[in-house]
Amino acid sequence: MAVISGIIAQLSQGHTHFELGLYFKGLVGIDLLGYWHLAAVAVFIQTVANNKYLGFVLTGVYLVGLKISAA
Alpha helices in the chain (DSSP H): 2-12, 20-24, 31-49, 52-70
pLDDT tens-digit map of 43-53 = 999 999 989 99
**Contact assessment for residue 59 and residue 42, using Cβ atoms and an 8 Å cutoff:** yes
Lowest-confidence region among 20-24, 36-40, 54-58: 20-24
Question: How far apart are the C-alpha atoms of 3 and 25, rounded to whole Å?
Answer: 11
pLDDT tens per residue across span 4-20 = 888 898 899 988 888 88
Q: What is the pTM of this model?
A: 0.61
The percent of residues in the chain predicted with pLDDT above 90, rounded, is 46
Specify the amino acid at residue 51. Answer: N
Q: Average pLDDT of the chain?
A: 88
Q: What residue spans define the domains of the chain? A: 2-70
